[in-house]
Structures are given as structure tokens and as C-alpha cells.
Amino acid sequence: MSLWVDKYRPTSLNKLSYHTEQAAQLKRLVQNGDFPHLLVFGPSGAGKKTRITCLLRELYGAGVEKLRIEHHNFTTPSKKKIEITTIASNYHIEVCPSDAGVQDRVVVQELIKMVAQAQQLDSSTQREFKVVLLTEVDRLTKDAQHALRRTMEKYVTTCRLILCCESTSKVIPAIRSRCLGVRVPAPSNQQICSILQTVCKKEGLTLPPELANRIADKSGRNLRRAILMLEACKVQQYPFRPDQQVVEADWEVFLRETANAIVSQQSPRRLLEVRGRLYELLTHCIPPDVIIRGLLTELIDSCDGQLKAEVTQWAAYYEHRLQLGSKSIYHLEAFVAKFMSIYKKFLDEGMAAMML
């Protein structure tokens, strides 16, 4: 009795419903029992993890689905204790080293080495290598990535790495070159619609295609989000109606309200209010780049052509600096202030033009 998104997740490469050629390729890749390190990348909700689990299953059989949670403790050179939780089966281990924050290098060095150094006892019945699945690789520090390079080469006989990330831009070239890149593009709206329909069919529901389309739209080609939205819609109202409102997450609504607040008034006082709302979003672990993107999409609606370009450019500028800096609220606020300034000028000029 889990959510649909988990309930109907395909478990084998054959059952994948889109990017089927890629699935076939992957299958071929592992058919001879070996494969290089993989770097799987693609947007959130495109099915990276699903594909990886399918691959593992293809490789090791059903045993790979028996998972357990393990806690590992490490001591950094500076005597700081860190604890990392991993998911492991007998054949693979899944780690998110970036959970350790800036100490992720230690995790990479210790944990992966530990796993990689252990030889399989009985290689006849099993593969002779284990798989280490590293998630959120793009959040790894440079140090950790460099620590990874050597490990990847040295222990290639006993372990394969599968790196999973959203974007390769933050993966150092040295690692990219050591891996076979597998890009998992987001499904198209059509694909999402058809999947939503199949899910509904399995649940015994009827889904009006219009609603499916709108959900796909709203989800931003994020399949996971689409299915979760579908379920939320079902919770809200069933039977479906084509004009039914698609339920959004609270944080999205909150973000939109924030953007509206910016547009409706430009003043220092409002800036302070917006700051409070931005803090609220940040504390709830909404990543700042998501916030700035959300703000931009909303703000742009109230701008005319030229202003759109300018605002977008500024958003990119501040998003970039946000990555460079440490206190994201500063940059978000600077963006808001910049927008307020530009927008106010724009409005005033508009007024002046009207008067003329």
C-alpha cells in the first residue's frame, strides 16, 4: 500500500516504458557479465535510479532487491566522527557521500576502498565484482572527486562504480572520462501521459486525457512528480474531471505567492517581507536554485519583452553567484532587490509614457 509512484515502478529493463532502445542497449551491455564504470545523468524524475536498479537486477538477479540499511562510522583526520547510512544488498552498495558534507572525501576513501578491496569469495556463482552506486555525485566536493579517480582505476577488477547525478557539469573531467556516460533524458509529455493512463488503468480508474496533459505540463517532464500529482488529484477528487485543478505542493504555491508579492509592490518594507518568505523556503530545504528559477518563471510573466531578457539575465547572474557564495539568502535577496529596482523603473517609465 504505497504510493503509486513506488507501486508501479518497473523492476526490469524489459518493462521500462520509454527510452526503450537505451534499455535494450543497457541490457546488451551487461549481458556478457561485465561493464565499465557508468555515469548516469539526467534530470530529476527521468528514471535514472529505476534504470540502475533494473540494470543491477539484470546483472545479479532478484537477490539484488534484498536491501538493508547499514550505518557506517568514520573518523576524519581531524577526529570528527561522521556517520553514513548506506543501502546495500549482497551485490551492491548504495552510498550518498555528500551526506557527509564537506567530509565526503573521507567517505569516498574509506568506504569505497573497503568495499572494493574485499574480494568475492565465490566468484563462480556470482559476478567477480561488486557495484558501488554513488548518488548525488554532482554534490561531491572536488576533493572527494579527486579521491575517487584513483580508486576507480585501482579497484576496477573488484568493483564497478555507477555514478548517478543530475548534471555532469559539476563532475570533474577526469571522472567523466573514466566512465561510460548514460544520459537519461526526461520523458516527453506524451510519454508521461501514456504512463499516467497505464497507472490509472491498473488502479481501475479512468483518467481524462485533458487532465493527464495538464498534469504532465505541470510536472515539468518529471515523471515522479507527475504520478504523485495524479495521486494527489485522485485524493482530492474522484472521479476525475477534465477541468480539475491540479494539486501543487505547498512550497510551490508559497513561492508563487512570494513572486506575486514582489510584483505587487516594490519597497524596502516589501523587500524585508520577501526576505522572510525566502528564509522560510530555504529553511524548508528548498534549494536556492529552485527558488530562483521559480521566482523567475513567475516574475517574467509580468514583464514585457525586453524586460524579460534583462530579468532572466540577472536571474542567471545571481544564480551563478549563489553557487559561488555561501549564504544563499544574500543572493536571492539581491536578485529580488535588483528586480524591484528594474521593475520600478520600468513601471515609472510606463507611467510617463502613458502620460505623454
Indicate whether 352 belongs to the interface with other proteins (CB under 8 A): no
Q: Does 210 bind other proteins (CB under 8 A)?
A: no
Among positions 26, 39, 93, 96, the unique one binding other proteins when judged by CB under 8 A: 96
Q: Closest distance between other proteins and the C-beta of residue 53, in Å? A: 7
Segment lying near other proteins (by CB under 8 A), choices 12-20, 105-113, 193-201, 277-285? 277-285
Tell me the closest approach of the beta carbon of residue 32 to other proteins, in angstroms. 27
- Work out whether 298 is an interface residue with other proteins (CB under 8 A): no
Q: Which of the ranges 115-123, 149-157, 194-202, 231-239 carries the binding residues for other proteins, by CB under 8 A?
A: 231-239
* Interface stretch with other proteins, choices 16-24, 108-116, 199-207, 242-250 (CB under 8 A): 242-250
- Neighbouring residues of 248: CB distance < 8 A, sequence distance ≥ 6: 218, 229
Among positions 284, 309, 313, 316, the unique one binding other proteins when judged by CB under 8 A: 284
Phi, psi torsion values for 234, nearest 5 degrees: -65, -40
- Calpha distance 52→46 (Å, rounded): 12
Scan residues 12-71 and list those touching other proteins (CB under 8 A): 44-45, 49-50, 53, 65-71
Which of 1, 34, 40 has its CA nearest to residue 231? 1
Interface residues for other proteins in 113-152 (CB under 8 A)?
Answer: 135-136
Residues 246-275 that bind other proteins (CB under 8 A): 247, 249-251, 253-254, 257, 266-269, 271-272, 275
Angle, nearest 10°, between helix axes 305-324 and 328-355? 160
Q: Is the dihedral of CA 177, 106, 161, 22 positive or negative?
A: negative
Candidates 105-113, 176-184, 197-205, 331-339 — which segment interacts with other proteins by CB under 8 A? 331-339
CB of 159 to other proteins, least distance (A): 21
Q: What minimum distance in Å lies between the beta carbon of 162 and other proteins? A: 13
- Beginning with the edge strand found earlier in the chain, give each strand of the sheet holding 81-88 in spatial order: 68-75, 81-88, 92-95, 130-135, 159-165, 38-41, 180-183
Nearest residue (CB) to other proteins, 136 versus 217: 136
Residue 268, preceding peptide bond in cis (omega within 30° of 0) = no
Q: H-helix or E-strand containing 39?
A: strand 38-41
Angle, CA of 138, 61 and 175, to the nearest 5° = 25
Contact 109, 147 (CB under 8 A): yes
Minimum distance, C-beta of residue 124 to other proteins, in the bound complex (Å) = 22
Q: Where are the alpha helices (DSSP H) in the chain?
A: 4-7, 20-31, 48-60, 104-107, 113-117, 142-154, 173-178, 189-203, 209-219, 223-236, 250-264, 268-283, 288-300, 305-324, 328-355
Closer CB to other proteins, 33 or 71, in the complex:
71
Q: Using CB under 8 A, which of 180, 209, 327, 350 touches other proteins?
A: 327
CB-wise, 112 or 137, nearer to other proteins? 137
* Span from 17-25, 175-183, 209-217, 317-325 in contact with other proteins (CB under 8 A): 317-325
Cell numbers 542567471 correspond to what residue?
316
Picking from 94, 98, 108, the residue whose alpha carbon sits closest to that of residue 147 is 108
CB of 28 to other proteins, least distance (A): 23
DSSP-assigned beta bridge partners for residue 74:
82
Q: Does 353 bind other proteins (CB under 8 A)?
A: no
Nearest to 45 by CA among 186, 163, 164: 186
State the minimum distance, in angstroms, from the CB of residue 354 to other proteins: 16
**Residue (147 or 340) nearer to other proteins, CB:** 340
Reading the block at residue 150, the C-alpha cell is 584513483
